[in-house]
Amino acid sequence: MSFPDLSFDDVVQPAWNVSPRVRALVTTRDGGVSEPPFGRWRDGVDQPGGLNLGMKSGDDPAAVAANRARLLKLANVQEAAWLEQIHGAGIVRAEDVLAHAHTSGTPTRADASVTARSGTVCVVMVADCMPVLLCDEAGRAVGAAHAGWRGLAAGIVEQTAERVAELAGVDARSLHAFLGPSIGPETFEVGADVRDAFMNGVGAAQREATSSAFVTHPHNPDKYLADLPALARLRLQKLGVTDIVGGDLCTVTLRERFYSYRRDRVTGRMAALIWLDDAAPASAR
């Protein structure tokens, strides 16, 4: 069976006002070659043609490799700094990830990468956790963070922002951030331990807003519904970052567009990519 090429109609792109040198996108479940249960969703049915990018998802490795090749072709790059994500707060340079992969053949264990090198692609994979993409307005440095609740509570978003700001030579307050598709506030059911992890880690100034990101579950008083995008915004705002877009696409409820581990368990993975492109006009550099 042949499938149409992956196109920019199949991905989500940040609506931010930054240099055209900054390139960024988040994939959906469309535009690939994977078979169910890793397929695309049409007419209420999981059908062939899914863009699963997760090598450890249980999908046919050849299909995942073909999907990754389709993604790199769309981005017009040769390779990407794929990570072995561990739900932590480790941050690495994307060029070091690529060097390690070239010499060892294995991915680097981390949950965020940054770079100031043109053509080097930072990438994280998600299927409910939030991808957070960061850059400075002039396009001097970029970063991608995999923000599940554990990494978010451990500070991965603000720490990645600080690393990007350092590489760009700017104040972190001037950065731009994109919150990609993730589990939404009406579907992210958590226990008191998750709420405590956030409440115990914030100062008085953010305590009320952090508490507001957790709503008692309407059918289970021992559980909460957590607002992951709101928690990410609070972390960025604590740094002084105000140019924040996205955070309005729920992977669980938008079944026709996104994979969701919490919804389906056996499912694919999307990817969020950000990189610098020297093909941009010189005036944008």
| 285 confidence band (pLDDT: 50, 70, 90) | very low
Which CATH number applies to 8-183+241-278? 3.60.140.10
Percentage of the chain lying above the pLDDT 70 cut: 98
Summarised one tens digit per residue, pLDDT across range 84-111 is: 999 999 999 999 999 999 999 999 999 9
Please tell me the predicted confidence (pLDDT) of residue 261. Answer: 98
pLDDT bin (cut points 50, 70, 90) of residue 280 is low
DSSP string, 155-201: THHHHHHHHHHHHHTS-GGG-EEEE-SB--TTT-EE-HHHHHHHHTT
- The answer on pLDDT for 279 being more than 90 is no
Q: H or E segment at 101?
A: helix 94-104
The mean pLDDT of 223-245, rounded to a whole number, is 98
What's residue 174's pLDDT?
Answer: 98
d(CA 143, CA 100): 18
pLDDT digits (tens, 9 = 90+) for 16-29: 999 999 999 999 99
Look up residue 246 and give its two tokens: 């996205």
Residue 14: pLDDT band (50, 70, 90) is very high
Asked if residue 1 has pLDDT above 90, the reply is no
The 3-class SS string of 206-244 reads HHHHHHHCEEEECCEEEEEEECHHHHHHHHHHHHCCCEE
CA distance 144 to 274: 7
Helix pair 204-212, 192-199: axis angle to 10 deg: 160
pLDDT at position 260: 98
CA distance 177 to 133: 6
Structural domain boundaries in the chain = 8-183+241-278
Say if CB 142 and CB 150 are below 8 A apart: no
User: Which residue in 114, 108, 52 sits closest to 85, CA to CA?
Assistant: 108
pLDDT value of position 201: 82
Q: What is the pLDDT of residues 105-158, one digit of tens each?
A: 999 999 999 999 999 999 999 999 999 999 999 999 999 999 999 999 999 999
